[in-house]
Amino acid sequence: MANIDWSKLTFSYTKTNTILKTTFVDGAWTPVESLTDDYLHLSAYAGALHYAIECFEGLKAFRAKDGSVRLFRPEENAKRLQRSAQYLGIEAPSTEMFIEMCKRCVRENIEFLPPYEATGASLYLRPTLIGSNPQLGVQSSKESTFMILCSPVGAYVGGALDAVDVVIARNYDRAAPNGSGSYKVGGNYACSLRSLNIAHEQGYKAVLYLDPSTKTKIDEFNSSNFFGIKGNKYVTPKSESILPSITNASLEIVAAHLGMEVERREVPVEELSTFEEVGECGTAVVITPVHKLVDKPFLESDEETVYTYGDGKCGPKSLKLYNFITGLQKGEIEDPFGWIDIVEL
């Protein structure tokens, strides 16, 4: 076991034993290497560094109650990476290769996998695909390098299920109407940083973006999807510029399984006042409940409309959904959906 205080982990980087790396050159992937050095030997002219030819994934490995090691829906991450790579015009690993490399990465770094008892902790896997050949011309990279990195992590902000305050950025967008918003490319994050930094300075944990073409409907947060709950309904926005969150798709299925009504449709801003619970969802924490949601005519203004949900703790319906997903991941609940992929050690 690594010498780690599992209860103190945050969502930050801890050096592990190895990272895995392979490069697509001349029509084939080179044999997968395990590197103990996490500093890359990369051309300074690599397309990733100049033209943001980069996409990534995030998924977690868990130590379950029965001692097994589990991945949650890794084939969904493999398919999403392939979709992002296709958008960028670069080669991506097959689903089988992606999952096999995820499993090998877990095996080689097994002492960094938090024990079952460490609530909220897991081994976070970061598959990363970059255009790596030297280039100056603007074009999709011919050579792509695929890596899997990993780090033990705890709750993303504060503790899991601590409610946060968030702000709508009306005068900023993270995505364009027919742009790259629905692909998991690093460039989208670069585009969200300016508004996120301003929001952070004002004490908000996240930024909520509206649909970039009409600015009348809810899109998503800077790094997580939006959901609202009213009565027995789970409501989440439908939009071309939203990143298709695997957590959100899973919550929709779990909500229906638990007898809730699920609506994926356009969510007008006016509807914010009608929700009883609102949350962010994503792999990092599954659900982050939103306490105060602040709408301003522009981010830098003092004028504001405040929507308040609950009392600063996670609402009962969100908690039920959270417990189901984390129960599946930790092997406390039988998996009715076939979402769990066991890592043979």
Ligand X SMILES: *Cc1c(COP(=O)(O)O)cnc(C)c1O
| 99 close to 108: Cβ distance less than 8 angstroms | no
Does 245 help bind ligand X (rule: CB under 6 A)?
yes
* Binding window for ligand X (CB under 6 A); candidates: 111-119, 128-136, 243-251, 261-269: 243-251
* Binding window for ligand X (CB under 6 A); candidates: 15-23, 41-49, 228-236, 239-247: 239-247
Does 290 help bind ligand X (rule: CB under 6 A)?
no
Q: Tell me the one-letter amino acid at 223.
A: S
> What gap in Å lies between CA 188 and CA 30, rounded to an integer?
29
Does 224 help bind ligand X (rule: CB under 6 A)?
yes
* Binding window for ligand X (CB under 6 A); candidates: 134-142, 193-201, 241-249, 293-301: 241-249
In the list 225, 288, 318, 326, the residue contacting ligand X (rule: CB under 6 A) is 225
CA neighbours within 13 Å on the CB side: how many for 35?
A: 16
> What gap in Å lies between CA 121 and CA 114, rounded to an integer?
6
Q: Residue 259 burial by CB count (10 A; 0-12/13-18/19+): exposed, middle or buried?
A: exposed
Does 71 help bind ligand X (rule: CB under 6 A)?
no
* Binding window for ligand X (CB under 6 A); candidates: 116-124, 139-147, 152-160, 244-252: 244-252
- In the complex, the smallest distance separating the C-beta of residue 200 from ligand X, rounded to whole angstroms, is 17
**Cα-based distances in Å from 321 to 255, 259, 273, 318, 327:** 7, 11, 22, 5, 10
Cβ-based nearer residue to ligand X, 145 or 241: 241
- In the complex, the smallest distance separating the C-beta of residue 244 from ligand X, rounded to whole angstroms, is 7
Partnered with residue 149 across adjacent β-strands are 126
In the list 60, 103, 184, 217, the residue contacting ligand X (rule: CB under 6 A) is 184
Partnered with residue 19 across adjacent β-strands are 35
> What gap in Å lies between CA 119 and CA 282, rounded to an integer?
17
* Binding window for ligand X (CB under 6 A); candidates: 43-51, 86-94, 110-118, 222-230: 222-230
80 phi and psi angles, rounded to 5 deg? -70, -35
Dihedral, CA of residue 294, residue 162, residue 14 and residue 42, to nearest 10: -30
- In the complex, the smallest distance separating the C-beta of residue 114 from ligand X, rounded to whole angstroms, is 19
- In the complex, the smallest distance separating the C-beta of residue 253 from ligand X, rounded to whole angstroms, is 13
> What gap in Å lies between CA 95 and CA 341, rounded to an integer?
13
Place of tokens 């255009």: 131
Cβ-based nearer residue to ligand X, 239 or 245: 245
Cβ-based nearer residue to ligand X, 79 or 230: 79
Cβ-based nearer residue to ligand X, 229 or 242: 242
Does 223 help bind ligand X (rule: CB under 6 A)?
yes
Cβ-based nearer residue to ligand X, 24 or 204: 204
- In the complex, the smallest distance separating the C-beta of residue 137 from ligand X, rounded to whole angstroms, is 28
- Residue 70: CB atoms within 10 A of its CB come to 23
Ranges within 193-212 binding ligand X (CB under 6 A): none
Phi-psi label, residue 158: left if phi above 0, alpha if psi -120 to 50, beta otherwise: left
| 194 close to 172: Cβ distance less than 8 angstroms | yes
Cβ-based nearer residue to ligand X, 110 or 169: 169
Does 129 help bind ligand X (rule: CB under 6 A)?
no
- In the complex, the smallest distance separating the C-beta of residue 313 from ligand X, rounded to whole angstroms, is 22
> What gap in Å lies between CA 196 and CA 170, rounded to an integer?
12
Catalytic residues: 184
- In the complex, the smallest distance separating the C-beta of residue 160 from ligand X, rounded to whole angstroms, is 14
| 79 close to 340: Cβ distance less than 8 angstroms | no
In the list 168, 191, 243, 260, the residue contacting ligand X (rule: CB under 6 A) is 243
Does 247 help bind ligand X (rule: CB under 6 A)?
yes
**Cα-based distances in Å from 168 to 210, 303, 304:** 8, 12, 10
Which positions touch ligand X (CB under 6 A)?
58, 184, 220, 223-225, 243, 245-248, 282-283
